[in-house]
Chain A
Amino acid sequence: MGRVSLRTQLRMSLSDSETIPPSLMTTIDFPTLELDLIPLTDLKDREKAVVYVADLEPSEREALAAMGLQKDCILHLCQQGQPCIVQIEATRLGLSREVTERILVRRCSVCNEA
Chain B
Amino acid sequence: MGTSESQRSAPSSVLLLGNPNVGKTTLFNRLCGLRSATANFPGSTVEARVGTSSSGSIKRKFTDLPGTYSLHTTDDLSKVCSYALDGVDCDQPDTVVVVADSTNLRRNLTLVNEILHHDVRCVVVLSMADIAQKSGLTIDCDKLGGHLGCSVVKVNPRSGAGIDALHSALDNPKSKEVSLPTIGNYKIVNDWANEIIADSVGGKLAVTGGTVTDRLDKVCAHPILGIFVFAGVMIGLFWTIFTLAVVPMNLIDSVFGYLSSIASNILPEGAVHDFVVNGVIAGVAGTVVFLPQICLLFFLISLLEDTGYLARAAFVMDRLLRRFGLPGQSFVPFLSAHACAIPAIMAARIVPDRRDRLATILVAPFFSCSARLPVYVLLVGVLFANQPFFAGLAFFSCYALGAAAAFITAFIMRRTVLPGKSRPMVLELPTYKMPSIRTAMLNTIDRAWVFLKNAGTVILAIVVILWWLSAYPKVTTAQGDSVEASRQLSESYAGQIGQFVSPVFAPLGYDWKLTVGVLTSFAAREVFVSTIAVLVAGSDDVEDKTIIEKIEHAKRADGSPIFNAPTSASLLVFFVLAMQCLPTIAVTRRETGSWNWALLQLGYMTVLAWVCAFITFQIVSGFVS
Contact = CB atoms under 8 A, between A and B. Distances in A.
Interface in B398-439: 423-431
Given A67-B69, A87-B207, A94 B104 contact: no
Contact of A93 (B110, B207, B209, B427): B427
B74 interface: yes
Contacts, number: 104
A95 interface: yes
A99 B221 CA distance: 17
Interface string A33-64: 00000000000011000000000100110111
B217 A89 contact: no
B217 A85 contact: yes
Contact of B429 (A62, A81, A92): A92
B26 interface: no
A14 interface: no
B94 interface: no
Contact of B209 (A67, A78, A94): A78
Contact of A92 (B73, B328, B430): B430
Contacts of A64: 426
B205 A90 contact: yes
B312 interface: yes
Contact of A82 (B74, B315, B429): B315
Interface residues of A, number: 33
A96 B217 contact: no
A47 B358 CA distance: 39
A66 B104 CA distance: 13
A78 B312 CA distance: 14
B311 interface: yes
A83 B423 contact: no
Given A82-B315, A89-B107, A92-B213, A67 B424 contact: no
Contacts of B526: none
Contacts of B218: 79
B106 interface: yes
Contact of B207 (A70, A90, A96): A90
Contact of B70 (A66, A71, A92): A66
Given A68-B107, A89-B106, A90-B207, A96 B425 contact: yes
A17 interface: no
Contact of B223 (A82, A90, A95): A82
A78 B217 contact: yes
A29 to B, nearest CB: 26
Interface string A72-85: 10001011011101
Contacts of A76: 207, 209
B362 to A, nearest CB: 23
Given A67-B428, A79-B217, A91-B107, 5 more contacts: A62-B73, A71-B186, A85-B221, A89-B106, A96-B322
Interface of A: 45-46, 56, 59-60, 62-68, 70-72, 76, 78-79, 81-83, 85, 87, 89-96, 98-99
Interface of B: 69-70, 73-75, 101, 103-104, 106-107, 110, 186-187, 190, 205, 207, 209, 213-214, 217-218, 221-223, 311-312, 315, 318-319, 322, 328, 423-431
30 contacts: A46-B209, A56-B424, A59-B75, A62-B73, A62-B74, A66-B70, A67-B426, A70-B190, A71-B186, A76-B209, A79-B214, A79-B217, A79-B218, A81-B222, A81-B223, A82-B223, A83-B315, A83-B318, A89-B106, A89-B205, A89-B207, A90-B205, A90-B207, A91-B428, A93-B427, A94-B221, A94-B312, A94-B427, A96-B328, A96-B426
